Structure 1
Amino acid sequence: MKIHYSILFLLISTVMFSQEDAWVYFNAKPSAQTYLDSPLLMLSQRSLDRRTNQSIALNSTDVPLEKTYVDQIKSKTGITVLAKSKWLNALHVQGSQTNILALKSISFVDKVVFANKALNTTSKKVLENQIVNTKDKLETAANYAYGTSANQIQMLNGHVLHQQNYTGTGKIIAVMDAGFPGVNTAQPFQNLITNNRILGGYDYVSRNDNFYAGGDHGTMVLSTMGGYKENALIGTAPDASYYLFITESDPLEAPFEESLWVEAAEKADSLGVDIITTSLGYFGDRDNPDYNHTYSDMNGTTNFISRGAEIAFSKGIIVVAAAGNEGTQTEKHIGSPADAVSVITVGSVTASKVKSSTSSIGPSYDGRIKPDVMAQGNAAVVSNTSGNIITASGTSFSCPIMAGMIACLWQAFPTKTNQEIRDMIIKSSDKYLTPDNNYGYGIPNFGTITLEIDSFVNKDFTVYPNPAKTNITFSFSDEINNATVIVYSILGQKVIDKKITGQNPNLSIESLKSGLYFYIFDADGLYKTGKIIKQ
């Protein structure tokens, strides 16, 4: 029987590998002006509002693919269309090398790029070592140890946001994963179901509307954000709303999964999603090793999924991606889309803030700091498909834990752009001044960011320059004559306690070492808190 199975697998593999994957890029969108003149034909009002709020103009990437072009490609002999992207004006196709190459002669085809780089005559042959074990979602180790989710939230000072009723209300998160079975039935998700916070979804792999199916990885991921079971599991964004998209095929490791991800991201954009979280990573370990990426591809611009993620950011969306779990492998670097410039790439730490040994490292191939930030991924508290509260490990969970907190932060600062929110998170992190390629900029402190809310609302109070080398100036109302400023280290030690006046509102910080500090400004009728960065 084993021999029969082996022969069957060999036959299937031979047939599968005789087919090549490729992206066919178009050179135009003839109907562009029609859509740009009537944007509701291609985007929801919420999506248009997100652009308006962030001063983002519509452009040709928002316009759907030319249908006549797509239909002509579909009609060609031996060609199967697996996915499409309006952002990149491309189709992902499968067929024989000969049939795919024949598409280059069509007038509206700009270029054809094979997933197997050796078939691209204009590309250098890949010589780097092939990578193994790179699919982040398959690196999950779960056990049935019960506990609470307090540590994974408090590590980020996320409870400070929650205590101010910033729990994700009004924000929409799209989750890209392998499946979401049990979300419609398990108790920890009933808060989402009852309050209609699951807005919809789609299975891009099977091309149907049943997204409560597939692998259970997405279920656990969602639980870290939207789960709600008192005294057991509270997600980081329990009151956010969610779209659930299946873009990952459990049985296969193939290039079309990246294209499905981009297609889903485009749908998320059109629906007005604020945040995309993805605990998927692509590097090597493909069923056909000719399709593996190499470290040199991890430059933020080469891989299809990373280019899609960057476009998503340009539309005003925050994209959060897992760094990967290859820290103990020969090739330890982050994969895609974690390599994209604007993606917030999240690594994993233990409950005691020590980097998880498995968490992938940076830099990106072009030398940028990656990961960007860290959160608890070891023994993260999650729900399984039956509603049991268990623990699981991997950047698969540090990523959504972070994404949920970002939703809460953005709720607190609704007029900030995605770039401004990203910068606030990076600058709040505990290694902001001394980043490295194990921890990135470190663990964000959402508590200190929220201390800025009053200052953000009240323009009569400012602290500048910040960062500073020698002196900080406090600008406040002329009606206040005297104030007390107390400065604390990140360990809570009082390092400065001084009175200032309206005539002399300067505070010397020359005696402080470089780093992050917190201040309290206390005057009659005005109480402010915030952070100071000493350069």
Structure 2
Amino acid sequence: MSRKTKLIVILIFIGFSLSAQDRYMVFFTDKFNSPYSISNPSQYLSQRSIQRREKQRISIVENDLPVNQTYIDALNNLGIKAIHRSKWMNGILVEMETSSVNLVEALSFVERVEYVAPGQVPSGGISGDEANSKFANAGAADFQNNMLGIDEMHEDGFEGQGMLVGVFDGGFQNIGQIAALQHLFTSNKIVAQKNYVTNTTIVENSESHGTRVLSILAANNPSEYVGAAPAANYILCVTEGAGEYRVEEYNWLFAAEMADSVGVDVINTSLGYSVFDDATMSYTYSDMDGETAVITKAANIAATKGIALINSAGNEGNKVWRFITAPSDSENLLSVGAIDATGFRASFSSFGPSADNRIKPDVSALGQGTAVITASGNISFQNGTSFSGPVVTGFATCLWQAFPELTNLELLDLIRKSGHQFNSPDNELGYGIPNYGRAYELAFTPEPLENEVLVYPNPTSDNFINLVFPEGFLSESATVTLIDINGQQVSSFHIEPQMSSNRVKIDLNNQTAGIYILRIKGQRTSFKKKIIKY
């Protein structure tokens, strides 16, 4: 989190000169004469990213266009090299001498220049709370997952298949050597890696915070530890350095843009910002209004691209700051607080509300005594909203797989509504502990069923199943949809059962063996059933 204890690390500078030049963001006035066009997004966005927008009816707009290369070239000609670029905010991160700032600001295509960090700030340095660390028995993650019904999601076949999750953190030490994470490498589940601090693709640095966060999501060792979304694909980004400077907020922006272009669905961030080493960059509580902090602005833009954002609320509850940290103040993401095993707020978990008096955090999950896998490969119980956040991220990932028709904001709203105290939220736990069963009922069953649809034979080795409808479905139009384990619709058709013909046969001849979800939605009633074909 922002006001964290720094780890003592061996500083390894990779890909940098040792100059004392400071870091600045240079923002441009426009994107005139761009060779790119919003009508041809395949030039700068992946097909998966385009499809995510199309699915949620999101238009390609000007801030999707890359930064004007001619402006970057002009700075290069002055000896100023771009390190990272932001199309959403139309700017680039550079290193330059203070004496060059006035020269750059005077350029006609430069809107403004912002100082974001001194010299070279080395990577590394998030310390998660490691209190209560001890070895755990088999099924160590079961408790934190089961609190949210993630075990039921897994039983229904939703483990994150086909989903792409971004994890932004300080580093992922030893992930290549941890047994429970090996499937990410053997199955090519890590789609992209980028270190925005060192400007390399090396994310396995000396920092282990991201390793622990990733384990909560992706670990898959059935005899010891299974994460919340073990079948998902992942993007790993290092955005957090050793010092506390605003450049880290911009690193998050760069990472979010890259993840968006690759086609990310969900982003987990176990970081937060309030007070910086340079006091001129620090925020006040009044800045936690959902629109002021740089990273909050970046998160708001990311949400407009159809990405679901989950962020740890902060560990400031028992400190002077006390409140949530940015970007948890955004209304377009889920801020996650921490509870203990009895369901009470962990003493360190940050309070809401946002400065404009919105309920924060949004939801809460186990963050005191959360089971994690450390960089040594051992399982231990540790504390922090850094660890309650990824539990909810895994929940959101699998829930979106189960209900792929939802938009990102509809998904987040459904999670809030599934909280155990949705009808009486507060600024300690928000809307409470989300739950798969409640979310399913809210998303799929608008009215309770008196009688279920009869489905047989199930499981089946035949190439069909039969449906027999109860009275509640008779004489009304209904939609029958079959969805595979990856959340993809494989067939859909309309029916109108009558008293004299209330049996319908569904053809499975073209479907491979596996688990499917059958959904039937009528005008007044709805139904869902897991189908197994051998």
**Aligned counterpart, 1:58:** 60
Q: Could you say if the C-alpha distance between residues 205 and 190 of structure 1 is closer, same or farther in structure 2, counting changes exceeding 3 Å? A: same
State the distance in 1 between where 2:448 and 2:344 align.
Answer: 38
State the distance in 2 between where 1:195 and 1:407 align.
Answer: 19
For the residue of structure 2 that corresponds to 1:152, the secondary structure is helix
State the distance in 2 between where 1:136 and 1:344 align.
Answer: 25
Check the 8 A contact 2:125/2:170 in 1, yes or no: no
For the residue of structure 1 that corresponds to 2:111, the secondary structure is strand
Question: Residue 73 of structure 2 aligns to which amino acid in structure 1?
Answer: D
State the distance in 1 between where 2:72 and 2:36 align.
Answer: 18
Check the 8 A contact 1:258/1:304 in 2, yes or no: yes
State the distance in 2 between where 1:53 and 1:259 align.
Answer: 28
Cα drift, residue 104 of structure 1: 2.5
For the residue of structure 1 that corresponds to 2:335, the secondary structure is strand
Structure 2, unpaired ranges of 5+ = 1-17, 118-123, 453-469, 477-498, 500-524, 530-534
Instruction: Say if 2:200 is the partner of 1:208.
Output: yes
Cα drift, residue 229 of structure 1: 2.1
State the distance in 2 between where 1:31 and 1:417 align.
Answer: 33
Matches within 5 A, 1:134-533: 137-142=126-131, 143-147=133-137, 148-249=140-241, 251-284=242-275, 286-451=276-441, 455=445, 476-478=472-474
Cα drift, residue 411 of structure 1: 0.5
Cα drift, residue 200 of structure 1: 2.4
**Aligned counterpart, 1:26:** 28
Q: Could you say if the C-alpha distance between residues 31 and 53 of structure 1 is closer, same or farther in structure 2, counting changes exceeding 3 Å? A: farther
Check the 8 A contact 2:217/2:230 in 1, yes or no: yes
- The count of corresponding residues between Structure 1 and Structure 2 is 438
State the distance in 1 between where 2:471 and 2:23 align.
Answer: 61
State the distance in 1 between where 2:229 and 2:293 align.
Answer: 30
Question: Residue 57 of structure 1 aligns to which amino acid in structure 2?
Answer: S
State the distance in 2 between where 1:263 and 1:475 align.
Answer: 55
Check the 8 A contact 1:21/1:255 in 2, yes or no: no
Deviations 1:40-99 (A, max 9, x none): 11000000000000000000111110111123234446x564532110112234545553
Check the 8 A contact 1:137/1:396 in 2, yes or no: no
Root mean square deviation of aligned Cα: 3.1
Q: Could you say if the C-alpha distance between residues 90 and 440 of structure 1 is closer, same or farther in structure 2, counting changes exceeding 3 Å? A: same
Cα drift, residue 21 of structure 1: 5.1
**Aligned counterpart, 2:465:** none
Check the 8 A contact 1:137/1:280 in 2, yes or no: no
**Aligned counterpart, 2:107:** 106
State the distance in 1 between where 2:416 and 2:263 align.
Answer: 24
Question: Residue 351 of structure 2 aligns to which amino acid in structure 1?
Answer: I
Cα drift, residue 111 of structure 1: 2.8
Check the 8 A contact 1:136/1:395 in 2, yes or no: no
State the distance in 2 between where 1:80 and 1:140 align.
Answer: 38
Question: Residue 307 of structure 1 aligns to which amino acid in structure 2?
Answer: K
Q: TM-score, normalised by structure 2?
A: 0.76
Check the 8 A contact 1:136/1:322 in 2, yes or no: no
State the distance in 1 between where 2:63 and 2:161 align.
Answer: 30
Check the 8 A contact 1:28/1:108 in 2, yes or no: yes
State the distance in 2 between where 1:401 and 1:436 align.
Answer: 21
Structure 1, unpaired ranges of 5+ = 1-15, 117-134, 463-473, 481-501, 503-525, 531-535
Q: Could you say if the C-alpha distance between residues 136 and 300 of structure 1 is closer, same or farther in structure 2, counting changes exceeding 3 Å? A: farther
Q: Could you say if the C-alpha distance between residues 333 and 73 of structure 1 is closer, same or farther in structure 2, counting changes exceeding 3 Å? A: farther
Check the 8 A contact 1:168/1:411 in 2, yes or no: yes
State the distance in 2 between where 1:43 and 1:206 align.
Answer: 24
**Aligned counterpart, 1:91:** 92
Check the 8 A contact 2:82/2:95 in 1, yes or no: yes
Greater per-residue helix proportion: 1
Check the 8 A contact 2:158/2:402 in 1, yes or no: yes
Question: Residue 336 of structure 1 aligns to which amino acid in structure 2?
Answer: A
Check the 8 A contact 2:414/2:443 in 1, yes or no: no
For the residue of structure 2 that corresponds to 1:357, the secondary structure is coil
Q: Could you say if the C-alpha distance between residues 22 and 229 of structure 1 is closer, same or farther in structure 2, counting changes exceeding 3 Å? A: same
Q: Could you say if the C-alpha distance between residues 458 and 360 of structure 1 is closer, same or farther in structure 2, counting changes exceeding 3 Å? A: closer
For the residue of structure 1 that corresponds to 2:230, the secondary structure is coil
State the distance in 2 between where 1:197 and 1:177 align.
Answer: 18
Q: Could you say if the C-alpha distance between residues 298 and 97 of structure 1 is closer, same or farther in structure 2, counting changes exceeding 3 Å? A: farther
Q: TM-score, normalised by structure 1?
A: 0.76
For the residue of structure 1 that corresponds to 2:337, the secondary structure is strand
Check the 8 A contact 2:82/2:92 in 1, yes or no: yes
State the distance in 2 between where 1:317 and 1:214 align.
Answer: 29
State the distance in 2 between where 1:85 and 1:73 align.
Answer: 15
**Aligned counterpart, 1:36:** 38
**Aligned counterpart, 1:468:** none
Identity of aligned residues (%): 36
For the residue of structure 2 that corresponds to 1:83, the secondary structure is strand
Q: Could you say if the C-alpha distance between residues 161 and 182 of structure 1 is closer, same or farther in structure 2, counting changes exceeding 3 Å? A: same
Cα drift, residue 301 of structure 1: 1.4
